[in-house]
Amino acid sequence: MARLNVFGPPQEWPDQDLIAFSDTIDPALVLDAYRSGVFPMPLADAGFEHTGWWSPTQRGVLPLDSLRVTKSLRQAAKHYTTTIDAAFTQVLTACADPGRPYGWIDDGILGIYTELFRAGHCHSVETWDDQGRLVGGLYGISLGGLFAGESMFHDKQHGRDASKVALLRLVELLTDDHAESRIIDTQWQTPHLASLGVIEIDRSEYLELLDDALAVPEAPWPRRDDHA
């Protein structure tokens, strides 16, 4: 599937991460944006009422074979169970906690991604402790071989490594016959993500990888999942 370029030719985008604004946002536009290499993020905290559309000049991506799984993470994973799409609303709500630093998930984003989940385009991975508590997770958009990670969280008291365990489960799910063409988009690279194997690539290289990823079949997402 070719990119739709709903934001115009990439060579005409500004040489900065923020490439456009819009007054409106809806699920169809969000999906077209991801297919174009762009993602939304509200700008209310910066004093703007518009939605910002972003395509970082240096994109953070996690190749599936680059995830750094330490011995301690493997040991930690044994103390948790994971599910897929079993508690999407809880994961989304935890990621949107206004008490988190640099929070950006507003009510509009909550509604749109919930609708995309119901349509089968958005997915969550949940991590549970041995008391049955949701202690970590992540969510993102899946289109062909692209998984666009939106946010992740962990319970600081009961699940220090729980978000990493969720990421490990995600990589395991995506690792199939098409793994070489699949990518996990993390938007930006942070020191924490770099420690897990996330690398930075130029925008142009990301868009080339995106073309290949969109041509790959969807991952075998279960709608519900037994504990694993």
Higher pLDDT, 82 or 226: 82
In this structure, how many other beta carbons lie within 10 angstroms of the beta carbon of residue 171?
A: 23
Give the separation between CA 182 and CA 174, rounded to whole angstroms: 7
pLDDT in tens, 93-130: 999 987 766 567 888 899 999 999 999 999 999 999 99
Would you say residue 46 has pLDDT above 90?
no
Domains and CATH numbers, the chain: 10-55 (no CATH), 59-214 (3.40.630.70)
DSSP the chain: -----TT--GGGS-SSSEEEEES---HHHHHHHHHTT-EEEE-GGGT--SEEEE--SEEEEEEGGG----HHHHHHHTT-EEEESSSHHHHHHHHT-TTSTT----HHHHHHHHHHHHTTSEEEEEEE-TTS-EEEEEEEEEETTEEEEEEEEE-TTT-TTHHHHHHHHHHHHH-STTGGG-EEEEES--HHHHHTT-EEEEHHHHHHHHHHHHTSPPP---SS----
Would you say residue 47 has pLDDT above 60?
no
Would you say residue 4 has pLDDT above 60?
no
Provide CB contacts within 8 A for 99, sequence distance 6+. none
Would you say residue 50 has pLDDT above 90?
no
What is the per-residue pLDDT for 221? 92
Name the amino acid, one letter, at 44: A
pLDDT exceeding 90 applies to what percent of the chain?
Answer: 82
Would you say residue 24 has pLDDT above 90?
no
What is the per-residue pLDDT for 2? 47
Return mean pLDDT, the chain: 91
Would you say residue 6 has pLDDT above 60?
yes
* pLDDT band per the 50, 70, 90 thresholds, residue 29: very high
What is the per-residue pLDDT for 196? 95
pTM of the predicted model as reported, rounded to 2 decimal places: 0.92
* pLDDT band per the 50, 70, 90 thresholds, residue 1: very low
* pLDDT band per the 50, 70, 90 thresholds, residue 44: low
pLDDT in tens, 189-206: 999 999 999 999 999 999
What is the per-residue pLDDT for 98? 77
Would you say residue 223 has pLDDT above 70?
no
Q: Which structure tokens are listed for 198?
A: 């996330």
As a whole number, mean pLDDT of residues 152-167 equals 94
Higher pLDDT, 164 or 100: 164
